[in-house]
Amino acid sequence: MILGHKGLITGVMKYSIWTIGCQMNSSDSLRVAAALEAWGCEHTEDIRQADIVVLNTCVVRQSAEDRASGFLWSLKPLKERRPSLIIALMGCMVGIRGNGQLRERYPHVDVFMPPGEVQPLISYLETVLLPGEERCGSGGDPYTLPSYARGQLVSAPVPVVLGCNHVCSYCVIPARRGRERSRPLTTVVSEVETLAQNGVREVVLLGQIVDRYGYDLGSDAPRLPDLLAAVSAVAGIVRVRFLTSHPSYFDEPLIEAVRTLPKVCEHIEVPIQAGDDEILRRMRRGYTVDDYRRLIERIRKQLPECSIATDVIVGFPGETEQQFQHTLDLLAELQMDVCHVAMYSPRPGTLAAATMPDDVPPGEKKRRLDAVNALQEEIAARINRRLLGQRVEILVEGKQKGKWKGRTRTNKLVFFCDNSGRDWRGALVDVVVTWTGPWSMQAELATVRENEHYGERLPRDTSGLTS
């Protein structure tokens, strides 16, 4: 318990965390929450009830930074009414080196936290407490989920590679998250074991370039296939995913690991970014369109049931209409399951922002984005239609608008209804697909699979289910 913060708060302090951006940020927010709870705080979704508000930010796109900035300014009146409110700014907006200008721009912020760094907030809390105050906890266990996630979080992100050495001309991540650092295999496995003990059934291994896991640890260090095998051996974990891959590092041992490790899902996220060689060269991606095409061919040959997701940036400096058409043509040719598309926005400190005029008009960028989305909608609808009437396995993640939802091994989102009152969260369920769309599917329950690691939450009575 924390008492009398600045003489204005009595009882247990409450915290709220606002997160935007990638799964790495989601993982960082879970760690902050666990640390605050170990320190004696309680979680609340209502920011108006919070004594501590943490904003975990992303600056990959200008739109994400604008959202974070807008939300941060919206907290200023609340801070003026409640001076005891502690506001912490975290993530890529702060960066690994901090940002002195942020203190001038946002004077109502109390704590600035680099990506993944919990200690600045804990140290601040210790500093502002009056001498002699009592508290419970001492900073938190990085492997323990916060109370609100225990038994509720089915799929959990686990960072395995921090930072990035592959400095693409448009990307601000290396400057904000630092150089590449792989976490030791034993540390990752220990964390996954604790997540499993907290009810997590699936883990997603994360890295800016996850395929480079272990590269910085020496030639004899474990690589990503070794890590996938080690994590797969953890009791209670039924599925393992990894992202994001890079075309230059997605090698044969990794393909073989996906093919042979039963728990590793057949879903690959490997961005192309552009379908034109000149644009790829100026992006400093390190491969050609033909290199990428050959990689996709190898993946599909050895993993015929695999789904593949890609990323595309439209409106990169100097991108002509013909060069954009090359991207559309490549997407039409390769028929990816998912294409995440974004409009280029210059990020301060990157090579592209410093040396390449942002010369594609905003309206044209939006037109190109819409064209990619329209094409991808057609492709995804066609791919998903093949599953109509098919029986698929999903891992149930929770409920949404009265329906249970889960994902196939190939990361397709599936909804099904069940009015029995059973809690299906975390169960591996077989369903029959009854409707397909580009972004999700509807299904009917077929069977549920027993699993010794699931415990009492797994429904036991399947006598009334159709096989």
Which residues, listed in sequence order, are joined to residue 8 by a DSSP beta bridge?
A: none
CA distance 46 to 16: 7
273 DSSP 8-state letter? B
Q: What is the pLDDT of residue 234?
A: 98
Cβ proximity of 340 and 444 under 8 Å: no
Give pTM, 2 decimals.
0.90
CA distance 336 to 330: 10
Is the pLDDT assigned to residue 207 strictly greater than 60? Answer: yes
Going by pLDDT thresholds of 50, 70 and 90, the confidence category of residue 96 is confident
Average pLDDT, the chain: 90
Is the pLDDT assigned to residue 139 strictly greater than 80? Answer: no
Least confident of 59-63, 79-83, 257-261: 59-63
**Cα Rg of the chain, angstroms:** 23
Q: What is the pLDDT of residue 450?
A: 46
Q: What is the pLDDT of residue 126?
A: 86
Going by pLDDT thresholds of 50, 70 and 90, the confidence category of residue 419 is confident
Q: Starting at the edge strand that comes first in sequence, how are the strands of the sheet with 52-57 ordered?
A: 42-43, 14-19, 52-57, 86-91, 111-113
**Nearest residue to 338 via CA among 370, 290, 375:** 375
Q: What is the pLDDT of residues 6-16, one digit of tens each?
A: 444 557 899 99
Cis preceding linkage at 244, omega within 30: yes
Is the pLDDT assigned to residue 319 strictly greater than 80? Answer: yes
CA distance 270 to 273: 9
CA distance 35 to 440: 36
Mean pLDDT over 177-189 rounds to 96
Is the pLDDT assigned to residue 208 strictly greater than 80? Answer: yes
73: its two tokens: 């300014």
Beta carbons within 10 angstroms of residue 370's beta carbon: 12
Going by pLDDT thresholds of 50, 70 and 90, the confidence category of residue 417 is very high
Provide the CB-side half-sphere exposure for 404 (13 A, CA). Answer: 26
Structural domains of the chain, with CATH: 5-128 (3.40.50.12160), 155-385 (3.80.30.20), 391-457 (2.40.50.140)
Going by pLDDT thresholds of 50, 70 and 90, the confidence category of residue 130 is very low
CA distance 198 to 177: 28
332: its two tokens: 């039409």
Is the pLDDT assigned to residue 465 strictly greater than 50? Answer: no
Number of helices (H), then strands (E), belonging to the chain: the values are 14, 17
Mean pLDDT over 398-404 rounds to 95
Q: DSSP 3-state assignment of 432?
A: strand
CA distance 296 to 333: 11
Q: Phi and psi at residue 440, in whole multiples of 5°?
A: -160, 175
Mean pLDDT over 79-101 rounds to 88
| Single-letter amino acid, residue 260 | T
Q: What is the pLDDT of residue 95?
A: 87
Q: What is the pLDDT of residue 235?
A: 97
Q: DSSP 3-state assignment of 160?
A: strand
357 CB-contact burial (10 Å; exposed 0-12 / middle 13-18 / buried 19+)? exposed
